[in-house]
Amino acid sequence: MFPSFSLRYARLPARLRVDCLPTPVTEPRLVAFNRELAEELGFDVEAFDAERAAEVFAGNAVPEGAEPLAMAYAGHQFGNFVPQLGDGRALLLGEVVDRRGRLRDLQLKGSGRTPFSRGGDGRAPLGPVLREYLVSEAMHAMGIPTTRALAAVTTGERVFRRIPEPGAVLTRVAASHLRVGTFQYFAARRDTEAVQLLADEAIDRHYPDLPGELAEVEAGERYLALLEAVVGRQAELVARWMGIGFIHGVMNTDNTSISGETIDYGPCAFMDAYDPRTVFSSIDERGRYAYLNQPVIAQWNLARFAETLLPLIDDDSDRAIARATSVIEAFTERFDSCWQAVLRAKLGLATREEGDGALAQDLLDAMQAGKADFTLAFRRLADALDGPEGEARLAALFDGHEALAAWLPRWRERLAREDVDEAEIARRLRGTNPAVIPRNHRVEQALAAAAEEDDFAPFEALLAVITRPFEEPAGEVDYTRPPHDSEKVLRTFCGT
Ligand code: AMP
Ligand code: MG
């Protein structure tokens, strides 16, 4: 059933990892399987046998050709450096080449203890596994770079967090699991050779268009170019997150992917009413990872990445610092230009004008003042172009209509210079601004039904609509609706 493994990471020097087998569980049961993704990865889906799949995705059987390993990494957690983290409850099975020729990591998360587990049990509760499944698949459907979810199994065992919960294992697919923290682990040990190997691996896998192997004197350029490329991807990624109201929640350097994918969905959540200060995570007491802080934090994380590359950039450390600093400083501009592009698209603009940024900001300000739902306000811009009834549906989202009423004619005037008719703009808007996102209250309801009542129907129904985010969902349950007061999720728990 499995495609053959490439074992790239397993063939890198031994000190980058610890070989380790998953710990079998008592009663593996497959509760979610991503058939479409499996096909993309080259699985023989026809030969699919749910029982065998449950065994493999639970870690009870290691697929043929896999050599499971725990990756070593360090990381800054909420600003504090931890020199050794590593995969404490995850194992890389190996890499497969997908149908488009891309190398993809297959990882089990929740598969038991490893030498990096510290005090942890190596396990994952069902709730967080299903949350990662739902949110990562929704992100993918919205076109945002992310790890994917291939399968979820329950283990038949309980894990103990705030309360006992059913245990589960997620099979995650990533462009790679190289993190800023992976580089930090070796940089902290002054193992420049390992840092260079990782940098070469990152270039090979994620940035193959960078200048190739160059003469020694120019090698610094290559690693500076890597830094610049990662800066570019992270700037774009965070701008894309913000465009859908996504808050990662734990933007530690060990959760910052070198490939530019969203990784490690913990207490992540989507904003309902627009407020740039929104924080959900229960462990983010000071709001370090609040919605609006995300670009600043991404830049901070990239500065930590830059530090690891300094010895590769220039033998002269002052020169290396000066060169890396200018790349890190350029993040601000990169981010701003990505963010402006995201906002223009959200307003239906394909051309660029001086005043576009202010136009977008004024709408955001009106949304904040009027406590408007972020997702619906953008979605209903298209309705407003359909006529007065649509405009009323948009206005209904705002407490107090003056700011919006003043804004709409300015927007219309700007749209008139787009050279396409309003029907075309409405079409664009509906392809950019999602109708459905995995709203926190719906996610919590689906997780609770699965964990408390072994009822996966709400999870499946939610998954079906959020993987078609630009379609108006039909059916009894209104997945587009913001939470009622009693349904509001104010805090998300890490629940690792
Ligand atoms: P995370 O919060 O999932 O990004 O994890 C941060 C670090 O803690 C990583 O090194 C994880 O492997 C480790 N970790 C998280 N939960 C557990 C657990 N239940 N058992 C062992 N290690 C864990
Ligand atoms: Mg993590």
pLDDT in tens, 326-349: 999 999 999 999 999 999 999 999
> Does the CA dihedral 416-417-421-423 come out positive or negative?
negative
Which helix (H) or strand (E) is 236 found in, with range?
Answer: helix 216-243
For residue 424, how far is its CA from the centre of ligand 2 (angstroms)? 42
CB 344 within 8 Å of CB 360: yes
Q: What is the mean pLDDT of residues 237-255?
A: 98
Ligand 1, CB cutoff 6 Å, lining residues: 85-89, 116-117, 120-123, 255, 264, 266, 496
Whether 89 has a binding-site annotation, put simply, is yes
- CA atoms lying within 13 Å on the CB side of residue 57: 31
pLDDT > 70? residue 270: yes
Mean pLDDT of the chain: 96
What is the pLDDT confidence band of residue 195, given thresholds at 50, 70 and 90?
A: very high
pLDDT of residue 453: 97
Read off the tokens for 421: 């008719």
Amino acid identity of 432?
A: T
Whether 255 has a binding-site annotation, put simply, is yes
CB 333 within 8 Å of CB 236: no
Residue 470 CB neighbour total at 10 angstroms: 16
Q: What is the mean pLDDT of residues 368-377?
A: 98
Residue 410 CB neighbour total at 10 angstroms: 14
Atom 15, ligand 1: which residue's CA is nearest?
496
pLDDT > 70? residue 268: yes
Tokens 């490939």 appear where? Answer: 259
pLDDT of residue 137: 98
For residue 299, how far is its CA from the centre of ligand 2 (angstroms)? 18
pLDDT of residue 48: 84
pLDDT of residue 496: 65
Determine the 3-state secondary structure of 246 from DSSP. Answer: strand
CB 56 within 8 Å of CB 2: yes
Q: What's CA 397's distance to the chain center, in Å?
A: 28
Domain ranges of the chain: 9-174, 180-339, 347-432
For residue 496, how far is its CA from the centre of ligand 1 (angstroms)? 7
User: In this structure, which ligand is nearest to the CA of 283?
Assistant: 1
- The radius of gyration computed from the CA coordinates of the chain, to the nearest angstrom, equals 23
pLDDT tens readout for residues 389-431: 999 999 999 999 999 999 999 999 999 999 899 999 999 999 9
Residue 168, strand partner residues? 124, 154
Dump strand ranges (E) for 88-187: 90-97, 103-109, 124-125, 148-160, 164-174
For residue 255, how far is its CA from the centre of ligand 2 (angstroms)? 5
CB 85 within 8 Å of CB 128: no
The CA-based diameter of the chain, rounded to the nearest angstrom, is: 66
pLDDT > 60? residue 373: yes
Q: How far apart are CA 254 and CA 180, in angstroms?
A: 6
**Catalytic choice (87, 105, 254, 284):** 254
Which helix (H) or strand (E) is 76 found in, with range?
Answer: strand 75-77
pLDDT > 70? residue 35: yes
Whether 277 has a binding-site annotation, put simply, is no
Residues listed for the chain:
496
User: In this structure, which ligand is nearest to the CA of 169?
Assistant: 1
* 494 Cα nearest atom in ligand 1: 2
Pairing of strands 148-160, 90-97: unpaired
**Residue 44 zone, left/alpha/beta (φ > 0; ψ -120 to 50; rest):** beta
Q: How far apart are CA 54 and CA 361, in angstroms?
A: 49
Which helix (H) or strand (E) is 77 found in, with range?
Answer: strand 75-77
pLDDT > 80? residue 217: no
pLDDT > 80? residue 262: yes
pLDDT tens readout for residues 388-397: 999 999 999 9
What is the pLDDT confidence band of residue 213, given thresholds at 50, 70 and 90?
A: low
CB 49 within 8 Å of CB 1: yes
Q: How far apart are CA 112 and CA 25, in angstroms?
A: 9
CB 414 within 8 Å of CB 422: no
pLDDT > 70? residue 108: yes
pLDDT of residue 113: 98
pLDDT tens readout for residues 437-484: 999 999 999 999 999 999 999 999 999 999 999 999 999 999 999 999
Residue 495 CB neighbour total at 10 angstroms: 19
CB 272 within 8 Å of CB 436: no
Residue 158, strand partner residues? 166
Tokens 């610094």 appear where? Answer: 220
Q: How far apart are CA 25 and CA 37, in angstroms?
A: 25
pLDDT of residue 231: 98
Catalytic, 254? Answer yes
With CA atoms as reference, report the closest residue to 57 among 180, 178, 170.
170
Read off the tokens for 182: 């992976």
pLDDT tens readout for residues 44-63: 998 888 899 999 999 999 99
Q: What is the mean pLDDT of residues 238-263?
A: 98
pLDDT > 80? residue 214: no
pLDDT of residue 489: 87
Q: How far apart are CA 130 and CA 447, in angstroms?
A: 7
What is the pLDDT confidence band of residue 288, given thresholds at 50, 70 and 90?
A: very high
Residue 33, strand partner residues? 151
Atom 10, ligand 1: which residue's CA is nearest?
85
Which helix (H) or strand (E) is 81 found in, with range?
Answer: strand 80-82
Sorted by sequence, the CB contacts under 8 Å of residue 424 that are 6+ apart come out as none
Q: How far apart are CA 107 and CA 96, in angstroms?
A: 11
Whether 99 has a binding-site annotation, put simply, is no
pTM to 2 decimal places: 0.97
Query: What percent of the chain has a predicted confidence (pLDDT) above 70?
Result: 98
Burial class (CB in 10 A: 0-12, 13-18, 19+), 160: exposed
With CA atoms as reference, report the closest residue to 63 among 96, 112, 90.
96
pLDDT of residue 491: 82
Residue 109, strand partner residues? 90, 170
pLDDT of residue 471: 98
Amino acid identity of 142?
A: M
